[in-house]
Structure 1
Amino acid sequence: MKKWLLPMSVLLATSTALAGCYGGGGGGETSTSSEGGPSTDIKQEMVVNALSEPPAIDPALATDTTSGWVLDHIFEGLYTRDKDGNPVLGAASDVSVSEDGKTYTFKLREDAKWSDGSQVTAGDFEYAWKRVLNPETGSAFAFYFYYIKGAEAYNKGEGNVEDVGIKAVDDTTFEVELNAPLGYFDSLLTLWTFYPVQQKTVEENKNWAAEADTFVSNGPFEMTEWKHDSNVVIEKNDDYYAKDEVKMEKVTFELVNEASTYYQMFKTGELDLVMTLPTDVIATEKENPEYMEVPYYGTYMYMFNVEKEPFTNAKVRKAFAMAVDRQALVDNVTQAGETPAYAMVPTGAETAEGDFREAGGNYFEENTEEAKKLLAEGMAEEGWDELPQVTLMYNTLESNKKMAEAVQEMLSANLDVQVKLANQEWGTYLETTKQGNFQMARMGWIGIFVDPVVNLDYYLGDSPNNRTGWVNEEFDSTMAAAKVEQDADKRFEMLHKAEEILMTDMPFMPVYFYKNTYMVSQDYENIAYYVNRYPFLKWAEKTK
């Protein structure tokens, strides 16, 4: 199945990175570092901006890209990613697959160590994975393990942990039994939810992941400081088996979410990398060699809570979606060349028939008159003389605020609907939306690898990430069938069908397919820009 996927990153040396250097397709181009290499007396440190406090730097509990950015640097799974974003063996040195494609046997590296110097064992992986599946853990990403025999039943309290196909045969042999062959299993295992945790550390301290001084990890870096709501510091892990590949001695993640502030911090040299630029500087900075645009395999959207009025009515939901001019939003608000979205799955997933999105097409279009008609029909069906008051929520970030204000204005102008706005800090916002305490709320969903199944998974009826209250049995059964279908053409046909079901009910309104904007100091080279994660700094070097 690898042949269906686009390369998952663009690796650029920032000394030669120009705004259009990688093109618009996420094509995995490479440029090398300078011939002489960095001077040995240069301090290998970097300061980047992560925008906000990571809600959970715990592989089992993290559901957001901010937490994931830190986790990807301090942990490593059985598979990791190479500079082009392709899955390669990480903590495992070898893997064998049974003839029927359902049983994977991993041999762990003898030099895989925890940051305290102790050995990473197969038992640590077994403990970590079963911890994710344990219903008491409450992992929102446990459903990614449902490909494994017995995992779904155990996670849902309908089966026993002993029946789960996860087993440490001995200290260095780890066995996984799947329900059916899965061509993208290696890519799946690069997700942070599959990282190991040290059993002793977790069992001795339930708050082990809350502070730097109690943290034990196995990645290229280790966390050495966490000043909550201020910064997270990671430093080179000298016990990492490939430590010679790691050039950075220290990386500081600052937590500044005011766009004008972190932009000025970059300009004054206090930050070496920032993302999500203020929209009013993008036009000016596009000619700056420090400016970058990188494709990002995800969808910016507004969720509708189908259990709260007025979004209990499908026609009202569709009316809102059809009343928003997406091209105007990306041209005038985001200004980074994003693609207007009229479906859930972004561009970038290759199939035998070409790009999945291009083959599937758009499911609706902007049409103010049709939107007004649908709104009137929906209100009549519900017996409403006036539309119930709507509040649109977003997490605190300048770009989100400007987008919400523009959508608010369009809904007023095109539907004569007056929408209130509300915002919350990221961690609080995730909890609020998880509890369903919203009517309409901003969300972004990034594929953990480039395949439509991971985008559509968001709206499964039993997915803890689906905060809309929408459940559709036909959608769920179609997705389940697609996951075990071995014929590539039939599989994608099923995924198109599932997306059609989703877009017919429309429990959300897609806005655009992401593109990340960065300012990156030209002092650094060999940063990997993956299309489904934030920049990876394992190979980063400061050259001047």
Structure 2
Amino acid sequence: MKRSLLTVLVLLLFVSTALAGCGNETPSNEGGEATKNIKQEITLNAKTEPPSLDPAIASDTTSGWVIDHLFEGLYTKNQKGEPVLGAASDVKISEDGKTYTFTIREDAKWSDGDPVTAYDFEYAWKRVLDPKTGSPFAFYMYYIKGAEEYNKGKGSADQVGIKALDDKTFQVELKAPLGYFDKLLTMWTFYPVKKSLVESNPKWAADAKGYVSNGAYRLTEWKHNSEVVIEKNEHYWNKDQINMQKVTWKMVNDATTYYQMYKTGELDLIDTLPTDVIDQEKNNKEFKITPYFGTYMFMLNVDKPPFTNAKIRRAFAMAIDREAIVKNITKSGEKPAYAFVPYGVNTPKGDFREVGGSYFEENVKEAKQLLEEGMKEEGWTKLPEVTLMYNTAENHKKIAEAVQEMLKTNLGVKVKLANQEWKTYLETTQQSNFQMARMGWVGVFVDPTVILDYYLGDSPNNRTNWVNKRFDDLMAKAKVEQDDQKRYELLHEAEKVLMTDLPFIPVYFYSQNYLTSSKFKGIVYPVNRYPDVRWAKKVAE
């Protein structure tokens, strides 16, 4: 995942609710009559080409940013980040908490005017699970009865607990009660796709022409590697609550360039400012730092020397000065990471990260000793050559260069650097064609499970080739544990297993910095997504 926390993160756990009929809040009418003649358009920066605008295929935050504005699931999120009913108007939950019966809104329509049906949802979800689809996020559906078996080729689609009872009734049967099922359903993997369109055109999501969605916006233009344009969907059931008429994403990856574009008014909002301008912008009323529930890390391919050795992996982790990185490079309140799960998860015993603590510390002397022991175990008199890969971006480059120097100074290890554009980079790392590679992981909601899921043995996102049965078993137990305290204890155990083997190097917990034009009000900054502009309003020219 791309990007992908503040010193003391204050994150609110999304309120778990299955209550019907909440709907989206009415947006403010700030600006009144004065805004009537102002074009409600905003220009953002995606930095790179979205790898995929197919909800079943997308696995990165860039694609998700666009998709979240184009589609809507059974649940959506309101301005407070709470899950509320979206494409569904009602939900009934069985007494045992395992069966959800949704009623699809009578006025839920596709952007071409056709009705959204329960059959579209059934088709979309089973398409995600179909092994032929190759969905990287299919495992998020494993809570559903028969889903894992079907996805792994050990069961059939008919055995999956997903069924349209009629045009407007959609039923889901879980393996066990899941307290955060409503939150889970707000992620794009659970969005519907139009069955007739996808079956008739396998490349339906490759371009704007013929693209159909069911959310607040419709895709009107996609100039590949240049810009994506979406416009308000007049068939959307809740269109009266949508202020912004048109949203454009440019694709400018150079931080200095997009910063200048913001300054000249070509962009209305940017994130990840060039590090050399952060200090001067901190007193700007348009500057904003927000929590971001994710972790910046370097994946280590455990099948490629020298990272086949656990002691060497730990040596590299212990030789990196995280404080120097967050103070001198990122400069936005990020917190050094000595574990995987970020701050911000409230548990019965306190914040999950504070309870779990750190799993290692920076210690050059011990790191040198571990490196020496690891090389001896492998019979190496010289460490195999190491290349650190990163996706093209100024800040990633600066961090990679800093780590390169730290490893040289602290361990005497010479590391080569290599970079690729985001889409190519995802393909390269997916094929595990790397030794050490930058990655970020952001939770789809605020819970340790969705962070730790990254390193499941069968997770397509786990590109390190690390598989640990004990870790997988603990995660499986945690997902069906109904006692909250016991669930968190299992998750702590799982994280300990992960941090003992260290198939990755955590660097810092994210925060995000933004510059947003004061001409706009009502933009929402989620803790695990990029800004939501559905309720944004331009109040000045």
TM-score, normalised via structure 1 length: 0.95
Aligned to 1:43: 39
Match status 1:265 vs 2:261: yes
Query: In 1, Cα distance between the equivalents of 2:379 and 2:507?
Result: 29
Partner Cα separation in structure 2 for residue 228 and residue 167 of structure 1: 37
Aligned residue number for residue 125 of structure 2: 129
Secondary structure of 1:62 counterpart: coil
- Which residue in 2 is equivalent to 1:360? 356
2:25 matched to 1:25?
no
Structure 1 counterpart of 2:201, one-letter code: N
Which secondary structure does the structure 1 equivalent of 2:482 belong to? coil
- Tell me which of 246, 263, 266 is aligned to 1:250: 246
Tell me the equivalent position of 1:430. Answer: 426
Alignment partners' CA distance in 2, 1:232 and 1:223: 8
Runs of 4+ in 1 over 3 A off after TM superposition: 30-38
**Structure 1 position 320 matched with structure 2 position 316:** yes
1-structure distance, mates of 2:454, 2:384: 27
Q: Which whole-Å deviations, capped at 9, do the CAs of 1:207-238 have from their partners, x for residues lacking one?
A: 00000012000000110000000000000000
Match of 1:451 among 439, 447, 451: 447
Q: 1:37·1:543 contact (CA, 8 Å) conserved in 2?
A: no
Letter of the structure 1 residue corresponding to residue 298 of structure 2:
Y
What are the superposed Cα offsets for residues 454-479 of structure 1, whole Å, 9 maximum, x if unpaired? 00000000111000000000000000
- Tell me the distance in 1 between the aligned counterparts of 2:34 and 2:116: 33
| 3-state SS of 1:531 partner | coil
1:215 matched to 2:200? The reply is: no
CA drift at 1:24: 4.8
1:104-503 equivalences in 2 (<5 Å): 104-503=100-499
CA offset digits 1:301-323 (Å, max 9, x no partner): 00000000000000000000000
Output the CA distance in 1 between the equivalents of 2:368 and 2:116: 60
> Aligned pair in 2 of structure 1 residues 25, 38: CA closer, same or farther (>3 Å)?
farther
- 1:309-368 C-alpha deviation (Å, 9 max, x unpaired): 000000000000000010110000111110000000000111011110000000000000
The answer to whether the Cα contact below 8 Å between 1:38 and 1:542 also exists between their aligned partners in 2 is no
Whether 2:62 is the aligned partner of 1:66: answer yes
Structure 1 residue 34: Cα displacement = 3.9
* Per-residue Cα deviation, 1:125-178 (whole angstroms, up to 9, x for no partner): 000000000000000100000000000000000001110000000000000000
* SS of equivalent to 2:524: strand
Contact 2:146–2:159 (Cα < 8 Å) also in 1: yes
1:537 corresponds to 2:533: yes
1: CA distance, partners of 2:465 / 2:36: 56
Change (3 A) 1:38 1:532: farther
- Distance (Å, rounded) in 2 between the aligned partners of 1:316 and 1:53: 36
Counterpart amino acid of residue 161 in structure 1: A
Output the amino acid matched with 2:435: Q
Structure 1: gaps (5+ residues): 1-19
Q: Name the counterpart of 2:21.
A: none
In 2, distance between residues paired with 1:45 and 1:177?
Answer: 42
Deviation at 1:27, TM superposition (A): 5.7
Q: Distance in 1 between matches of 2:107 and 2:448?
A: 36
Q: How far does residue 249 in structure 1 lie from its aligned partner after superposition? A: 1.1
SS in 1 for 2:525: strand
- Do 2:69 and 2:216's aligned partners in 1 also have CA atoms closer than 8 Å? yes
SS at structure 2 position matched to 1:514: strand
Count of residue pairs brought into register by the alignment: 523
User: How far apart are the structure 2 equivalents of 1:203 and 1:261?
Assistant: 41
Tell me the equivalent position of 1:522: 518
Task: For residue 91 of structure 2, give the secondary structure of its aligned residue in structure 1.
Answer: strand
Structure 1 letter corresponding to 2:301: N
Preserved contact between residue 40 and residue 245 of structure 2 (Cα < 8 Å):
yes
Contact 1:318–1:371, Cα closer than 8 Å, also in 2: yes
Quote how far apart the aligned CAs of 1:38 are: 5.0
Gaps of 5+ in 2: 1-5, 14-24
Distance (Å, rounded) in 2 between the aligned partners of 1:152 and 1:38: 54
1:471 to 1:27, Cα distance in 2 relative to 1, 3 A:
closer
Matched residue of 1:208: which SS? coil
Deviations 1:390-431 (A, max 9, x none): 000000011100000000010001001000000000000000
- Partner residue of 1:77? 73
Give secondary structure in 2 for the equivalent of 1:428.
Answer: helix
State the alpha-carbon separation in 1 of the partners of residues 8 and 352 from structure 2.
19
Output the CA distance in 2 between the equivalents of 1:339 and 1:325: 12
- Residues of 1 paired with 2:122 and 2:292: CA distance? 32
Give distance in 2, aligned partners of 1:344 and 1:55.
Answer: 26
**1:159 maps to amino acid:** G
Helix, strand or coil for the counterpart of 1:528?
coil
Q: 1:37–1:440: structure 2 CA closer, same or farther, 3 Å change rule?
A: farther
CA shift for structure 1 position 26:
4.0
Please say if residues 12 and 344 of structure 2, whose CA atoms lie closer than 8 Å, have aligned partners that are also in contact: no
Q: Distance in 2 between matches of 1:53 and 1:104?
A: 37
Conserved? CA contact 1:303–1:509, under 8 Å: yes
Q: Which residue of 1 aligns with 2:3?
A: none
Q: Say which SS state the counterpart of residue 163 (structure 2) adopts.
A: strand
Q: Are the equivalent residues in 2 in contact too, given 1:38–1:541 (CA < 8 A)?
A: no
Identical residues among aligned pairs (%): 66
1:9-47 CA-to-partner distances (Å, cap 9, x unmatched) read xxxxxxxxxxx9x9952469x996646475200011000
Please, what TM-score do these two structures have when normalized by structure 2? Answer: 0.95
Deviation (angstroms), 1:373: 0.3
* Cross-structure match for 1:12: none
CA–CA distance in structure 1, aligned partners of residues 245 and 316 of structure 2: 50
Distance in 1 (CA, whole Å) between partners of 2:383 and 2:538 is: 57
SS state of the match for residue 199, structure 2?
helix
Amino acid aligned to 2:220: T
Deviation at 1:245, TM superposition (A): 0.9
What residue in structure 2 maps to residue 17 of structure 1? none
Mapped partners of 1:129, 1:329: distance in 2: 41
Instruction: Say if 2:80 is the partner of 1:103.
Output: no
- Distance, in Å, in 1 between the alignment partners of 2:40 and 2:479 is 44
Give, in whole Å, the separation in 1 of the partners of 2:273 and 2:111: 35
For the residues of structure 2 that align with 1:332 and 1:423, how far apart are their CA atoms? Answer: 22
Q: Distance in 2 between matches of 1:402 and 1:284?
A: 19
